Chain A
Amino acid sequence: MAATSRTYRSIRGALSAACALAGVGGVATSRATEVETAILGYTEPNRVSALETALQARHDFGSGRLANFKVVYDALTGASASGAVPSAAVQTFTRPSGRGGYTTAPGETPLDNTFRDARVAVSGGTTLPLGRLSTVSAGLYGSGEHDYMSLGANASVSRDFDRRNRTLSAGLSFSRDTVTPEGGRPIPFAAMAPVGADQPRLAGDGSKDVADAMLGLVQVIDRATLVQVTYSLSRVTGYQTDPYKLVSVVDPTSGAPVDQLFEHRPDARTKHILFGRVKRHLPHGVADLSYRFMTDDWGLVSHTVELRDRVALGGGGKYLQPHLRWYRQSAADFYARWLLDGAALPDHATADYRLGEFGAWTFGLEHGRDLGRDHRLTARVEYYRQSGDGHPAGAPGDLASFDLFPVVDAWIFQVGYSFGS
C-alpha cells in the first residue's frame, strides 16, 4: 500500500494560527525565523546627528542549533569637538585633508564640522549544541567606513549546571581595526600646519588589535529571580590615537592658544570590566538592575548603574518600560584640557572629552505592543545629558572665563518592528 508521490501543501501555519485564535498555543510556540528591523535617530543639537538602520534575522533550526545575521547601516553628519580650547580671538583650523579650513568664533568651542561618514557593519554567527548541556557559538564581524575598517571573530562555550539553574560561559574574541584617515595620520604632537602647507605625516595606515576574554555566570535564584555576573579582560595594542583630535598649547599667562598639536595616546591599553545584573519578575512586570565597573591602565575608572522596569499593560503584549542610567568616569592619566607653552611635552596627551572626567544621565521610555500574533512594534525615546567641569582649576588667563567642558545633550529615537514565522 505504497503512498502516492502526490505532494500536499502545508496547512500547519494556518492551523497553528487557527489554534491560537481558539485559545491554545498562547504559550510560546517558538518561531523558527525571527526578523527584527529598527531605525534609530541620534541627535546632539548643533553637533552630531546620526541615523541608523538595522536588520537582524535569527533562525532556529531546532535541537538547539541557531544562526543569526545582522546588518547595520548608519550615516553621521555634523560637528564634533576637536579638543582645541576656545579663544578670545577668531581661530582658523586646517581641515584634516589639508585642503581648506574652518573658523571658530571667539569664545566658542572649536568643532570640526567636516564630520560626515557612512558605516556598514555586518555580523553573523551560529550556536550549536555540544552534548546535552553545553553549547558552542562562533561568529564573524566586519564593518567599514571611508576611513576605518574592522574585522573580527569570536567564539564561546557555555555549559549548564545544577539542573540548568546555573550557566557558566567563557568566550574569546579578536578584531583588527585599520584607520586610514583623511590626508594620512599626522605625526603625534606635530603642530597643525596652516592651510596649504605640508602636514608632517606618519607612513602607512594605523592598525590596532583588540583581544577580549570573557567569563560569565548566570544563576537562577528562584522562579522569579536571575543573577548574572561577567568579567571581561580586554587588551588593545596598536594605533589608538584619534588622528583628528587636537590639544591646544596655550600661553601660560594669557591662556591664548599658540599652537594646536595633534594628540598622542599610548599604543597599549588593558581594560578590566566587571558586570553584575539582577533581573526579577514582579507582579507588574520585570525589573532589571545592573552595575558595570571598568578600570584600565590609562587610569580611567568608570561606573554605570542602569535600571529598566518593564510594566505590562493588559493584553496584546503591551508594555511601558522606563529606563534610567547613571554614568560616571574619571579622566585618563594623560588627559589634558590644554598644554602650557614652554613646558616639556608629556609622553602622551589628549583633550578628547570622552577621556576626560564627566558624569552622564540617561532617561528613557520604551513602549512595545504586539500587532497580531507574530508581529511586534516597539518605540523608544531617550534623553542623554553629559556634563563635566567646565571651569577646571588652574586655567590660565582667558581660559578661566570659557566653558571648557560644554554640556552634551542628546536625544535618541528608535522605532523597531519584528516579525517571525
Chain B
Amino acid sequence: MEDTDLIILWGSNAREAHPVMFHHMMKAVRRRGAKLVIVDPRRISGSEFASMYLPVNVGGDVALANAVGHVILEEGLQNTEFIEAATEGFEAYQNTVQSYRPEDVEDITGVPADSVRELARLYAHSERAILCWTLGITEHHNAVQNVHALINLALLTGHVGRYGSGLAPLRGQNNVQGGGDMGALPNRLPGFQNLLDPDIRKRFADVWGVAVPEKVGKHQTAMFEAMAEGQIRALYVIGENPIQSEANLNHVRSLFDGLDFLLVQDIFLTPTGERADVVLPATASWAEGEGTVTSSERRVQRMRPALKPPGEARDDLWIVEELAMRMHTPGWSHRTAEQTWDELRSLSPMHTGMSYARLEELGGIQWPCPSEGHAGSPFLHARLWERPVVGKRAPFVVADHEPTAEQVDQEFPFMLTTGRRLAAFNTGVQTRHYAAPRGHHEKLEMCSEDMEKLCLEEGDLCRVSSRRATLEVRVTRSRKVHPGLVFMSLNYPDEVATNLLTLDATDPVAGTAEFKATAIHIERVRAAVPVGHAVGEAVDSHHA
C-alpha cells in the first residue's frame, strides 16, 4: 500500500472506519506522491487528501465501473497482452460496457463524464494501482455484481498479481479474514477447502474421529430465514450482537424470541445476551488470551495475554472445549492455543508453514505459507503473470446496472445511507463506555438545502420513517451529503436504532443486506431548544 502510485477508495470511508490502514495509505501519498481517489456518495473526510472525488449515486457503482471500463477500451488503454494471456470472458465484457458511455449514464452514476474519463486514464496509466473497497460496495442486494465490476477493471488494466498493484477489500474487524480462513463458513472447511469434496472431508474426519456432515450449511442470512420458518430452533452466538447489527431489526428480534434455546458467549452482556437462556463470560482475546488473528492483508499475527480476565471470565477455547467434552464428543480435550493451531496447520495447507515460533520470529506471515521453509505470500495471483499462465485464467464476469431494492418516491423521498463513525465500533458494545471527543450521539446528517426545504434548524428532533419502522433522531447540517441523500450510523443503537429502518433485501450469493440504501420520510417533531415554547404549535406552523 505504501509503495503504490494510485489508491482508489471505492465505497470505503477508510479515514474514519480504517484509520490505521488510512495512515499507511497517506504514507504512499505523502512520501511517494501517490494519488488518492475517493468514490463515494458522501464527500467523506478523506476527500481532503484526495486528488479526485467522484460523487457516485447510491447504487450507481456497477454503472460507474462499467463506464470507466468503457473509456479504457474506447481510448485503447487496456493491457491487451494480459487480457489475452491471463483472462477469459473479455468479449462479453467488451460488449456489455459498450452501452456505458459515461455521458449516457451520468444520471445513473451521478458522476460527470469528464471525471469518469479522467479516472479511467489515471487508473490505466498508473504503473501500480490498488483498488480498495469496503461496505459501500458489499452492503447492497447486488453486492457480488458490484465486486465483479471492480475486479473487471483490474483485469482490464493488469492491476493485479504484482507488487503494489491489486484488489483490496478492507475488513471491518480484526479477524473477519481469519473467521473465514478457519472454516467458520457454511460451505468451506478450514483453509477454504471445499466441503463437497469427499477426500477433503475424509482428511478432517481422520483427524477429528467424527464424520464431517456433507450437507452445505446456511449462512447467517439463510439462518434468519430458517429461524422464521421454525427450522432453526437453537443458536450459539459467540461475540456477536445480531439483535442490533442486522437490517430490519424488528423482524430479527421476533426471530430471536421464537428460539427454543439461545446460548451466548461474550465479554459484555449485549442485548443479544439479554435474550439468552445461558450466557458464558469469555476473555477478551486480544488482551487476555493466547492465539492468532489474520489481518486484511492475510497476515497471521500472534496475540498474547497482557491482562488477567475479570471475575470468572474464562478463555474462549476452554469454553468451547468444555461444551464439546460434556457432550461426549470424541477427540476433544483441553489443549493450549498452540496445540489447536498445530491441528489447524496439519489440516490447512495454506497455514502449514506457520508455527508459533515462526510467527514470532518473522512478526507475522501472510498466507499461503505451505511449508516451514516458505516466507509467506505478500501478494496473490502472481501466477497470472507467468507465461503460459499457471492454472486457471482469471474470468471477466459481466455485471449490469441494477437499481437499489428500494427507490425514493413521494411518500419516502429521501435516500438514507448508513455507515460508521470515527471512535465508535459497530453496535457500540465495546466503545460506548469510552470517552470520545465529540461525544457518543447519533445524528441525521443532512445538507443545508434540504434542511431549509424542511424548515429544520441544527439539532431539531426529527421523526424518520421507512417502510418498516419509525424512530426519532436529531438533525445536523453536513457538507458531506448532497440534496436527497442523508446519513446515519449504526454505532449508537441504544439511542437511535438505525437498523430498525434498514431493509433486509440481500444479495443472493453473499447474503449481505442492502444497508446502504433505504428510502425514508423525514418530518420535524420539535425544535432544538423547546424550553418555554409551545412545541405542538411550532410543528404545525412549520408544516403550514
A and B interact: no
